[in-house]
Amino acid sequence: MSGWDEGAVFYSDQAQFPRGGGGDADQASAATRHSVLRKFKEFIRSFETKQNVFHYRESLVHNPKFLLVDMDDLNSFDSDLPSLLRSSPADYLPLFETAAAEVLASLKSRVDAGMSEMEEPTVGEVQIFLTSKEDSTSMRSLGAQCISKLVKISGITIAASRTKAKATYVTLMCKNCQNIKIVPCRPGLGGAIVPRSCDHVPQIGIEKACPMDPWIIVPDKSKYVDQQTLKLQENPEDVPTGELPRNMLLSVDRHLVQTIVPGTRLTIMGIYSIYQASNSAAANKGAVAIRQPYIRVVGIEETNEASSRGPAAFTAEEVEEFRKFASEPNSYKTICSKIAPSIFGHDDVKKAVACLLFGGSRKELPDGVRLRGDINVLLLGDPSTAKSQFLKFVEKTAPIAVYTSGKGSSAAGLTASVIRDSSTREFYLEGGAMVLADGGVVCIDEFDKMRTEDRVAIHEAMEQQTISIAKAGITTVLNSRTSVLAAANPPSGRYDDLKTAQDNIDLQTTILSRFDLIFIVKDIRMYNQDKLIASHIIKVHASADATSTDHKPSKEDNWLKRYIQYCRTECHPRMSDSAASMLQNNYVKIRQDMRRQANESGEAAAIPITVRQLEAIIRLSEALAKMRLAHAATEAHVSEAIRLFNVSTMDAARSGINQHINMTAEMSNEIKQAEAQIKRRMGIGSHISERRLIDDLTRMGMNESMVRRALLIMHQRDEVEYKRERRIIVRKA
């Protein structure tokens, strides 16, 4: 950021106050400014939103620090005022603030009975915030033609700097003659233009002439305001395919400081300005006309999750249509049919995705503890089972969504990172994917390819829905109120029925317990089913539009997206008493069944059934009620939630438990022989390819299935270890 002491040439967007020597032009300018000031004062005093309701006058009295002004109200009062603010905001916005301060002073003097009639009212400072219902401009369309104009853009905050003190007036003292000079500073990131010489005329023979650049700053007598810089990035859904997201530097001051945290979606109004970046000054010595753009913010609106990808208000026709649809008996079935219609089968997965899109109800307990309402789903299984297609569908359907791949995602990229600014050398916070998707869904493909330490980083974000940062002196907590839809493959690439669930689901128990639903998706080879799938895929390809290269959402997609927004905004269901009693009994029964099966098999379940799974069923029940716009989850909703839980997480937890039960004596003997041959073939500490070991033993006449089971048992006893994505076997004991 450039300062007033760099001695450079600056672009000035400060108010052009009349100067002497202009003659008639200066007088006309002063008259125009006086008339505009009078109009602003009249607007604040007399504008009525309703009969005898003076909104702006009352707002100013109740909150004298700032005044929020709607441009539509200003336009209905005088159509010239909004055009002046849009074309020359740096000139006329200070006039508006002066008018507000003077009106506030006069209003206070009337109600202050203790003030003397002859005493002048004290004029304070009032900050004007502007808001407008006009459409936002794309960040990519801002160019040179917008400089010094009022613009409106939307995006998501990815970084926020520390609060700084910005000088509005700098007091200078001549180090030779002690002459005092007060120099105004330009607003935003601009500095002050300091004169090179002192205007003091020395007495001949008594005083020395003042040298060039004689000024010393007097900080204690200068005037300051709080200032903060933000980085606004394009909304993820607005970035064209193949393009990097653009970002814009924002400057906020006074009462806008420390009101925004990274991850907040914003629509801002501000003055498109330019400044000389200090880091580019040395690099661009030969290009003195090159300046960096930024926006000096004069109005901020936070965009909630329901209005981020569409208008916040729903029309009366839409509301009537949504309520009529919710009252239909087959509305749940209709919604599920609209989930990824191009994918054949997977009915229960589609129902789970529908629950994820609608979500449960967030709750805050009396002691301040917050319970998440967002539903997390894991799809694990064979390749080519449409897992990634589900993720892509959710990305385009959810009101807010971020898609990422596990292989290319780091812990910092998913949560948050601390970055040092190259110009100021200060650290600032930049939010990751789970912060940017606050209020929406994060789709993580190739979840199994993530490094273990990166998966551990999202534990807090998935359950507590916060991201705690303590780096480089920055200690803060960011919101990540998101659902997680993840897709993963088993370690061997395909789901192996000869292996236990622990080996097929090669993820830590800590991360598995945070998923509400876990689906094992298998590619089953059946003649009739293969024929149906092939027929469905051929029809999809035949009916697809081959002339269009850009994906355009259909009418059905837009309707579903709007219905999801409406339900998430308007409906927050809770459990009914009868449903709660039914759920309590079922949870106790599930725990008893899992304990009994674990005792029979002698192995712990791959997915532990804990209180988190009870909360998962509650969230599913609330999501099912929300689809019907019901304010209470009934026993029918709980029954369907338990069924979904049984066909997903419970089936995954049970898989592999009974692997070694009912094993015949002949099978047991074959496994023992295979173990002996493996130990003879491999010394302790040696390693070999799994494929090579199995091939060698099968050539000796052993059954491949028995060899695999022997390796599995040895792995459970910690006698062998798998490495390099389970391709290499290392003998440990």
Per-residue pLDDT reduced to its tens digit, 278-305: 654 444 555 566 778 888 888 888 775 4
603 pLDDT tier (thresholds 50, 70, 90): low
- In this prediction, residue 498 carries a pLDDT of 58
- For the stretch 376-420, pLDDT in tens is 888 887 777 778 888 888 888 887 888 888 777 777 777 777 777
CA pair distance 623, 571, nearest whole angstrom = 10
Torsion of CA 624, 626, 632, 634, to 10 degrees: -20
CA pair distance 644, 651, nearest whole angstrom = 10
307 pLDDT tier (thresholds 50, 70, 90): very low
- Is the same domain home to 638 and 687? no
5 pLDDT tier (thresholds 50, 70, 90): very low
- Is the same domain home to 270 and 363? no
Determine if residue 425 is left, alpha or beta; phi over 0 gives left, psi from -120 to 50 gives alpha, anything else beta.
left
605 pLDDT tier (thresholds 50, 70, 90): low
CA distances from 232 to 119, 153, 256, 261, 295 (A): 47, 9, 15, 11, 10
By C-alpha distance, which of 493, 488, 469, 487 is closest to 411? 469
Do 100 and 126 touch, CB atoms closer than 8 A?
yes
By C-alpha distance, which of 481, 516, 486, 242 is closest to 362? 481
- In this prediction, residue 279 carries a pLDDT of 53
8 pLDDT tier (thresholds 50, 70, 90): very low
Question: Does the pLDDT at position 563 exceed 80?
Answer: yes
- Is the same domain home to 347 and 488? yes
Average pLDDT value over all residues in the chain: 77
- In this prediction, residue 285 carries a pLDDT of 54
- Is the same domain home to 32 and 81? yes
- For the stretch 477-490, pLDDT in tens is 777 788 888 888 87
- For the stretch 35-60, pLDDT in tens is 888 888 888 888 777 777 778 778 88
Specify if 219 maps to a domain.
yes
Specify if 8 maps to a domain.
no
Specify if 462 maps to a domain.
yes
**How wide is the angle at C-alpha 305 spanned by C-alphas 302 and 306, nearest 5°?**
110
Domain end marker among 274, 302, 330: 302
Question: Does the pLDDT at position 348 exceed 80?
Answer: yes
Question: Does the pLDDT at position 578 exceed 80?
Answer: yes
- In this prediction, residue 556 carries a pLDDT of 61
Question: Does the pLDDT at position 254 exceed 50?
Answer: yes
Pairing of the two strands 150-160 and 427-431? antiparallel
- Is the same domain home to 430 and 576? yes
Question: Does the pLDDT at position 689 exceed 60?
Answer: yes
- In this prediction, residue 566 carries a pLDDT of 85
Question: Does the pLDDT at position 594 exceed 80?
Answer: no
- In this prediction, residue 333 carries a pLDDT of 87
552 pLDDT tier (thresholds 50, 70, 90): low
2 pLDDT tier (thresholds 50, 70, 90): very low
Question: Does the pLDDT at position 15 exceed 50?
Answer: no
Domain end marker among 591, 623, 654: 654
Structural domain harbouring 191: 140-302
- Is the same domain home to 276 and 365? no
Specify if 232 maps to a domain.
yes
Percentage of the residues of the chain whose pLDDT score is greater than 90: 0
Q: Which two tokens stand for residue 297?
A: 């913010």
- Is the same domain home to 573 and 710? no
pLDDT, greater one: 558 or 544:
558
CA pair distance 671, 666, nearest whole angstrom = 9
- For the stretch 153-184, pLDDT in tens is 888 887 777 788 888 888 888 887 888 888 88
CA pair distance 680, 534, nearest whole angstrom = 48
- Is the same domain home to 324 and 376? yes
11 pLDDT tier (thresholds 50, 70, 90): very low
- Is the same domain home to 338 and 431? yes
Number of domains in the chain: 4
Average pLDDT over residues 273-277: 78
| DSSP state letter for 137 | P
- Is the same domain home to 155 and 275? yes
- Is the same domain home to 516 and 494? yes
- In this prediction, residue 604 carries a pLDDT of 58
Domain end marker among 270, 302, 334: 302
- Is the same domain home to 59 and 188? no
Place of tokens 């317990």: 513
Question: Does the pLDDT at position 3 exceed 70?
Answer: no
Question: Does the pLDDT at position 518 exceed 60?
Answer: yes
705 pLDDT tier (thresholds 50, 70, 90): confident
- In this prediction, residue 281 carries a pLDDT of 45
Specify if 457 maps to a domain.
yes
